[in-house]
Structure 1
Amino acid sequence: MHVLQFHTPANKPDTALVTSLLRPIDAQPEVKFDREHNVLEVISDADAEQVLAVLTQLGCEAQQLETMVHVSGGSTCCGSCGG
């Protein structure tokens, strides 16, 4: 299982569509989007290259983040800030 984050500066990816396109790789991917920071978080068996291919297929410009950021409700959420 991978926890991956991508910065999507130009547009908000359709998380339901990303989830659907990842299902051939992983039956239950988790996809969340942080609008405040334009960060897409994907928890899946898919690797970064596979997720980037899906985002490219959707016309979404994205770059993988090297350092994880807090995504409210996502894997990086510790729950202490209430965000």
Structure 2
Amino acid sequence: MSPSLEKILSEIEQLTPEEQLTVMGHLVERVKKHITQVQPKRKWSDLKSMAPYPLLGEDAQEWVSRTRKFADEHREGLQREE
């Protein structure tokens, strides 16, 4: 620990609890400015070409058709059980 940091911490210990909270608040706000930088908004077009086509080797329309067929069969099975 540097001598200047030791001196600052020693001086902070001499402050009242309310003053110590003020120091903490000041430090938190100061650090937040460095940590929380504004993230640029992303556009859907930025995602274009990020995944290989066809994704996982399956065409999107084939996936939709297969998923719908599976859901229909599942629903029909549930209706028969009633």
Do Structure 1 and Structure 2 share a fold, with TM-score over 0.5? no
Structure with higher Rg: it is: 2
Task: For CA contacts below 8 A with separation 6 or more, give which structure has more relative contact order.
Answer: 1
Write 1 or 2 for the structure with the bigger share of strand: 1
Q: TM-score, normalised by structure 1?
A: 0.20
